[in-house]
Structures are given as C-alpha cells and as structure tokens.
Chain A
C-alpha cells in the first residue's frame, strides 16, 4: 500500500515493513527471544526466530533494495545471542546479497552492539536523521509519538519513523468477541511500525481522531476507519 506522508512516498507491507526509495525499514524483530526464555528455565520451543528471518529474507529478495534499516530491538536480549542465532542471521544476510545492514539501536539491543558490528551491521544510537526524516526506536512519549520541536542540536525534520510500541488495534469481531490485530499507527507527524518479529506480543493503542490505523491481516493491509 502506498502512503504519502509529510512529503515522503512510502510503501507499506502487511508484514510490518516500510519501503522508502531503495531502503526497507522494519522494527522489533526480537530475534532469539525463545532462547532467552529457554536459558531462564522456561520451556518455550524455538522456531519463531527462524520464521521471522525467513520472512525477512523472502521479502528482501522480492524487491530491489540496497539498504535494510532496523528501527531497534533486532535482538531480544544479550543472553539470546548464540552460535546458532549468529549463523542464522549470517545466512540471511548472505542470501540477501550486497545490502547495507543498519540498526538504530533499541533498548533490547543495548548489550549486543559489538556482536552485530562484527557481523557487518552499522549500529547507530538514535535519533538518526535522514533528509527530513527522523528515525528512532522508542517514541518520545508512548502515548503521543509526536515529534518535539526541533532544537539547536536537532536539524529540522518533518516526520518520525519508530517502533518499540508493537502497536495493535482491538477490533470487534461480533457482539461478544474482539481480536487484537497488529497495525501501522499513522499519526500526523510520525509513523509507528508494527513489530516484525513473529513471537513478540502487541500493545493495544488508542488512536486519536486525526490518526490512521492500518491493520495487518493475513497478508493484507486494511485501513480501519476511525469514527
């Protein structure tokens, strides 16, 4: 789905990715999350990490891009970093070919920068400014990811792309039941990406009147009309 937003042309995918020119942006993969649970004595089966990477690899191969940017939380925690994960991630990078791999660091990545750099990732602390866009992981305030006024340190920017919230919207299915559906949360001057990872959980958002909500449902993006 194409989206014009503050003078930028984006393409949004039901997988939770956003394409901007030849850059693909995703957020919140939480790779290795099952491992973190297993190492802590909780028997959660592996599989989600592998599935997430497969999905990413397939998506990259379907389009012409030169750059992949992760808006934070590529990994779930430092103890989730295993040889197996390193080789899975390496394989995905190799299969995707000569891409530039960038991470805008998130709270979960905090202690894994070194490992990622040695695998070829460019790891930057947020915010990252790209043209008139600002990229970061955690929005300035969870209730309103609106941008603050530019300061002398910050160059002026038009919009913010971020993750961290794992946004979802509670959709009434019938009189008695509701479903929590992951979504893009489009605000007047920011876009919050849904989590790309397969086993990460979501957070129900409460959009305001001027916002837009795009639901990611079984491979399709559907706009949920607010009011």
Chain B
C-alpha cells in the first residue's frame, strides 16, 4: 500500500518522564487524584511536545482522552500566548484565542467530552475557555462564537465545515495549534471522514503549524488511518501511540441444551431467553446488543413479558429513538438505575458507561472489530476485565464466534478503508471555500491534494468540479446557473441567497430519509424510515422504543400515533439490518470448517456442532479450504442448486445475481435466488438445463461488471445511491418543506433530479459516481472478484442430495421466507426440521423429502394486472 508519511513512525520520542516542566505539572495533578500516567500517555505527550502529528490507538476507557488532550494543554504551559492576543469577552475575563479543536463524530458525545476536557483544564489551572458547537447549539451562541471564539471547542465535522464557510474563519483559526479527531475509525470510510479530511486541509492552510492528532479503536490498517489523518504531505513527523495494555477479555458462549441439526437464521435466539435472564440477574448491569433495531424491540418485549417485575429497570436504546429518550437511557445507565439495556450499535460508541459489568451479544457480531468494541463496553476502565456472553441465533454462528475469538488471539482486526476522491464532497467543498475567501484554481488544487483522499485527484476531475459549480459543467444545459462566480481567475460566491442555502445544506450528509413518530397527546418517540411510514395504514400497530403504537395519521412529515394493545401488525424496516460477514471473519470461518472437515481436534464450542457436521458429511460433504462445495437437490418442489462460497452475504448476492442472469440469458429459465453469509441457492420450479460441472464456467470473470449491473436492477440501485450524492453536491434544496414560498418552488425529489440529469446531461460525472458507488460499496465488486478468483483456483466438489442438508436448510428457509408470512413460516419450518431430524436418526429408511408445503409453492407472486407499467 502506498503510505508516504511512515518512515518516521519508529522514531517515537521515548518517554521523557519528569524532565519537562509541563510533564511535572501533569504528574502533580494526577498524583493529587491518586493516579499516575501510563507510559504510552507520556509518549503521546512527548510526541506532541516535539510537534509531531499522531494517532493514538486505544479502546475507550483506557485514558485516551487524557493522552490526547494533555498534549495541547501541556503546550500552553510551555508556551503561553501573551495576553495582548487574548480574546475580549462580554461579562467574562479575557481568554486565549482558539487554540485547540476536538472533533467528535457524535453530537451525543459532545456533553460528556466537554466535561472530561474541562476537568483537565481545571486540574491544570489554565485560563482556557471551553465550549461546544454542534447542530444543537443555539444560533445566538453560534453567532457569539464566531465573533469571540473560545480557547477550545468541541465540534462535529459538519459544524466545523460550516464554520469554515465564514470569512472570519481565517481570523478565528489563525492561532490554532492542535486539532484532535475523536473516534477516527468511525469517520474513516465514510463521506463524513472525507469532509473531515478536507476541513483539516483547510485548517492547515489557515494555521500552517497546526498539529493533527487522532484517536482510534484498534483497526487492521493503522497506517492507512494515520495517512488519511495527516494528509498526503504531512507537515510534521508522525507518531503512532499504542496503549500497551491489552484489555483482558472473557468470551463465553451460551450454548443451548440441544443444537438444531437444521439451523436457520429466522428465529433470533429467543429460545435462550431464560439463560439470558439468569445472566442479567447475576450481574449488576448488562448491555444486551442485538444486530437490528427490530431484534432490539423484540428482545425488550420478550424480557418484559418473562419478567414483568423488571418494568422500569430495563430499557431499550437504538438510533431511531428520539434523542431525549436516548439521553435519558444513557444517563440512567451512568447513574446505575437500570439493570439491563437492550441496544444496537447505537451504544457501540461514546459515553463512558463505567457501571456496566457485562455485555451479552445476541446473534453473530459479523466482525471482529465490532465484537471487541462491544465487549469493551463492560469493565470500562483500565485494568478491569471485559465480559461478553454470546447467544448464537443459530448453530453456524458458533463457528463465527470461534473465528472471531481466533482473530482476536492473532490480532487480525478488520481494515477500514477510506473512500477515494468522491466528487460530490468536492463539489460541496468548492462552494464552502468560495464562501470563505476567493481562491484561484492552483490554490484550491494544492489544498485539496494535500488531503489523503484527493492526493491523486485527476486534473480533469478538478476542472469538471470547478466547471460544475460555476456553469453546471455543460454549457448549453445550464444557461441560468451560477453558484460560484468566476472572475479574473478567482472563484467566489456573490449571491447571498445561494450562500444561505449552501450553509443550510452543509450539515445534511448523514440525514437519512427518516420521519418523526409522535404521540397525538404530545411527546416524541423516535423515527421510522420514510418508506416504512408510507406503507403504514391507519390502525397498523408497530413497536418502537419498547412501546406498541397504533398509527392514526401522517401529517406534516410526522407519523401520529397512540398507545395500543395487542400484537404488532407491521414491522418497521430500518436500513443496515443485514450486516454481511466481514471478509476477515469469513476466512476464519472457512478455516474452521476445514479443521472440522479434516477431523482435527477442535475447540469445545465447536464440539457441540459435531452431530450437525457428521450429518452434513454423511448426506453430502464438508469442504476443505481448497474446495468449493456445490449441492443439488431435486424434489417435487423444484430444482435447487446450492453453492457455498463462505464469503459473506454481499458476495453471495453477487454470485447469485450473476449466475441467475447468465443462465437465464442462455436458457431462458427464470431462476430465483436465496442467499446468506455462507452461500447462495438457485431455484427453479422446472429442472434447470445446466450441468453442475459447468458452474465454474458460468462464473467466469470476463464482463463481470457489465453482467452484474445488468443482472441487478442497476438503474434503481443507482437512483437510490444518487440520493446522498444529490444532497451532498447541493443538487436539491434541503430546507424544511413548506417553510417559505420561495423555497417551496424549489422542491424536487432526488429521483426527479436523477431523471433530469439522465435525460439532459447524461455525461454528468455525479451520475457516474453513483454507479461506481453501487459497484464498489453496495455490490463490493472487488471482494466478489477476489472470491471468484479464489474459487476458480479451487477444486469443485459436486453432490446430488436427496434431502436438505444442514448447510442447505437455512438457504431453503431464506427462499420460502419471502412467500410466507412470518408466523406460519416458523410453524412450517419446525415441521420440516422434525421431518429431517427423523431422516437423520433413521438412516436405513428412505428419507421423506420435506417440501415447503403445496400452498407455499403455489403462492407465486401474482402477475401484475397492469400489463404496461
């Protein structure tokens, strides 16, 4: 990998305990609190004192806030600014000008961060003022901060970019000495990360001596994380600081009494409810992590039903709840009022929950980094042990957890890749900078290329971006367009209305199409996705925030509800429900299966799968590491081919789409696909006219991109992807609908914008960006290519089977899931499981082949009555 700034990594200044005045001051203060600094903290402070950029790798609760923050504070002790440069403030003593920025990805973290930072400032007796600036800050405060900024500011990336759009930012940031980015691993790999990189490049131009520091959890590609933090041409040497203490971690698997030989991913481990209740009872406080918001709601309900006496002592927390509710829950955890909170990744980050003793993970975490992060939420202070109990949702997840355990042992943590040079963010930045100060093309190019993401930005792309913001990029198509004015070689924004609208749009990168849910009697509950809200009918009941709600009406962008009794009739869908298995973990799973196949001794938790694996071997085959297993099952229900790549859901989807498309092109069969993290099932009611042995040819890599795009409804995917791009590049007006008349006439959906571009400016690079993003992010084309290459080199093993095998059963369940309602599905699957169990224990008799019942097979999707649409 191409990482320029790394030669200096190993010259980390050695710990210089006590030989510098500021270090003595810090140690005195910490001694007064009966603490002493860790060596790695001293390293961080010394590196900062030697004017290095740096990245601190430590999990939360290890003291990384102090490690980063005492750097700039120590710098002040060494080198204070003369009072003549201090900022005069109303009704308060003067304070030093803005010297330090603390960038936090989460608004919710700002309060706690401020408390922690203020403690250090007070402890060292500095004359610094500290304030926060986020989307929640009042506009009066924001205005005052622009006129007289505090010495240190806790800020979100969006608020920082917004601040940089004002001309006075040149003055505000002039004295800036250090900027610290918290949770850098969270920003990395997202467009907010790109926004941050561009903001850092801008800040560095305003304050050339500024030091960049980042805080990150352990990730697989540290060098990359550092490079994107410090930019393509670091202004100073760089240091990587690792907390040398590894947190002790106890991982326990809660195994059910008997393991289903026919596992399926549909039930969510609720069978383990009583074990979970025991665990919760045994501890003071517990976080129960699930993978989706639906599961969160379901587990909360189930816990309450089993233990009605826990009402008020357990709570639910996920990203779709109203901020007030979330804050309440977070505070209640800190205060020790709750014995358990059921949550999603919404609690992965941030607030220091020192009182939490244990974490229970329901279902596979699908990635090693996530597992570590979650386990780390318990025993959240240096020297304490993290405890995590894992509840497998089905048998195969036991393998996933074992793979994650091995990965932790061997320090193989997933990588987080930064996105490369997205044009939508650059379009936004080109306008933001023009709002701040007029610039020339070479100036802008220099600044932008100094960020890691745009280090290789092609000249023609830069030209297009600047053309796009001045003339629309395609002269005859945009006669009346001028967002940025180009005069005598300098770019600037003249129109006050355009400036206002752009500033309103800056903060919208993260906003999904979410819509509020509110009681008619008053009181906000949270959000649901717009597409879910659109399908709700009056009287529909759904769970949110642990409450059953009945929809009354949708008005003014809000779903109005009242409390309901009974059972839910609709299940909210939130994006991101299906996390694919990370490729690192997928490889671990393949290795473990190889271990089992070669009958090497395995760890005790895998022992529990031995029955299942024996059956798989008897009825079919267990693939070795260099093998690809294909099964075919023809029964009265139809013809099914199963291919096991063990590469994660997104790759399975790609393989399935590719096969179905190519085969149907050649033979005219209509195939349906079902996928999971392990493999893909192709299904056809009639016999498929292909030989099993020809499968490798069908997966040839030539024309891969074209075929993949053609196989999926690529236009639809691209159109959806374009939503964010249009918002970021400022193609739609994102003001509140109906706010004023002049704005109402600027309402257009991103879908309409997409149509207009496709029709009248098809060469627009933002359209290309959308389809690139679909290929790279959504379809993970690189990962798919890698998987296909690996499989082409492997030995293929073909098995014709008479009944569903332990491997194929979960795929079959996936296939029929679409056709059958959830409730009847569970009954039917239980029936099939029983039949297969019978076949498994009576090998002599001819096994009956269970099928997903005639009714299910007949209920094919009805052809649309409308032949044209």
Contact = CB atoms under 8 A, between A and B. Distances in A.
Interface of A: 34-48, 76-77, 82, 84, 108, 171-175, 179, 181, 199, 201, 215, 217-218, 220, 222, 224-225
Interface string B805-839: 00000000000001000000000000000000000
B756 A44 contact: yes
Nearest to A170: B534
28 contacts: A37-B748, A38-B478, A39-B481, A41-B498, A42-B732, A43-B468, A43-B473, A43-B730, A44-B731, A45-B474, A45-B477, A45-B478, A45-B757, A46-B478, A47-B477, A47-B760, A48-B759, A82-B480, A84-B479, A171-B869, A179-B869, A199-B752, A199-B755, A199-B756, A201-B748, A215-B866, A215-B869, A217-B869
Nearest to B766: A43
A225 to B, nearest CB: 7
A187 B480 CA distance: 41
B861 interface: yes
Contact of B864 (A45, A84, A173, A220): A173
A181 B473 CA distance: 32
A82 B730 CA distance: 24
Interface in B738-791: 745-749, 752-753, 755-757, 759-761, 764
B761 A36 contact: no
Given A42-B733, A173-B866, 13 more contacts: A38-B472, A40-B746, A41-B498, A41-B501, A44-B478, A44-B731, A44-B756, A46-B479, A82-B479, A84-B479, A175-B818, A218-B868, A220-B868
Contacts of A218: 868
Contacts of A48: 756, 759-760
Nearest to A200: B752
Given A45-B756, A46-B760, A173 B869 contact: yes
Contact of B746 (A42, A45, A175, A220): A42
B719 interface: no
B31 to A, nearest CB: 58
Contact of A201 (B468, B476, B746, B752): B752
Given A40-B498, A41-B498, A77 B745 contact: yes
Contacts of B495: 41
A224 B866 contact: yes
A36 B748 contact: no
B575 interface: no
Interface string B838-869: 00000000000000000000000111111011
Contacts of B477: 45-47
A43 B861 CA distance: 41
A38, A84, A224 — most chain B CB neighbours (10 Å): A38
B482 interface: yes
B472, B749, B760, B818 — most chain A CB neighbours (10 Å): B760
B869 A181 contact: yes
Contact of B731 (A42, A82, A173, A175): A42
B502 interface: yes
Given A38-B472, A175-B861, A220-B868, A44 B748 contact: yes
A36 to B, nearest CB: 6
A181 B868 CA distance: 11
Nearest to B535: A178
B140 interface: no
Interface in B714-748: 730-733, 745-748
Contacts of B476: 46
Given A77-B745, A175-B818, A201-B749, A42 B869 contact: no
B497 interface: yes
Contact of A47 (B482, B759, B764): B759
Contact of A38 (B481, B501, B747, B749): B481
Interface residues of B, number: 44
B483 interface: yes
A47 B625 CA distance: 57
Contacts of A217: 866, 868-869
A1 B826 CA distance: 50
A37, A39, A44, A77 — most chain B CB neighbours (10 Å): A44
A62 B200 CA distance: 62
Contacts of B760: 45-48
B684 to A, nearest CB: 17
A215 B861 CA distance: 23
A84 B861 CA distance: 50
Nearest to B748: A201
Nearest to B431: A41
A43 B481 CA distance: 6
A36 B480 CA distance: 8
A34, A42, A179 — most chain B CB neighbours (10 Å): A42
Contact of A76 (B745, B749, B759): B745
Contacts of A171: 864, 866, 869
Contacts of B756: 34, 44-45, 47-48, 199
Contacts of A172: 864
B776 to A, nearest CB: 24
Contacts of A199: 752, 755-756
Contacts of A34: 756
A99 B468 CA distance: 41
Interface in B445-495: 468, 472-474, 476-483, 495
Given A45-B756, A46-B478, A37 B746 contact: yes
Given A41-B502, A199-B756, A222 B868 contact: yes
Contacts of B818: 175
B556 to A, nearest CB: 14
Contacts of B864: 171-174
Given A77-B745, A175-B861, A38 B866 contact: no
B505 to A, nearest CB: 10
B861 A174 contact: yes
B716 to A, nearest CB: 8
Q: Which 9 A-B pairs have the closest CB atoms?
A: A47-B760, A175-B861, A45-B477, A38-B481, A41-B498, A45-B760, A45-B761, A38-B480, A217-B868
B481 A41 contact: yes
A43 B731 contact: yes
Contacts of B869: 171, 173, 179, 181, 215, 217
Contacts of B749: 201
Contacts of B478: 38, 43-46
B752 A222 contact: no
Contacts of B730: 41-43
A41 B483 contact: yes
Nearest to B762: A45
Contacts of A181: 869
Nearest to B474: A45
Nearest to B859: A175
A87 B478 CA distance: 17
Nearest to A46: B477
B529 to A, nearest CB: 16
A43 to B, nearest CB: 5
Contacts of A173: 864, 866, 869
A173 B863 CA distance: 8
Nearest to A222: B868
B645 to A, nearest CB: 25
Contacts of B498: 40-41
B753 A44 contact: yes
Nearest to B499: A41
Given A36-B746, A38-B479, A172-B864, A45 B472 contact: yes
Contacts of A47: 477, 756, 759-760
Contacts of A76: 745
Given A34-B756, A108-B745, A41 B482 contact: yes
Contacts of B472: 38, 43, 45
Contacts of A46: 476-479, 760
Contacts of B480: 35, 38-39, 82
Nearest to A50: B760
A10 B865 CA distance: 26
Contacts of A38: 472, 478-481
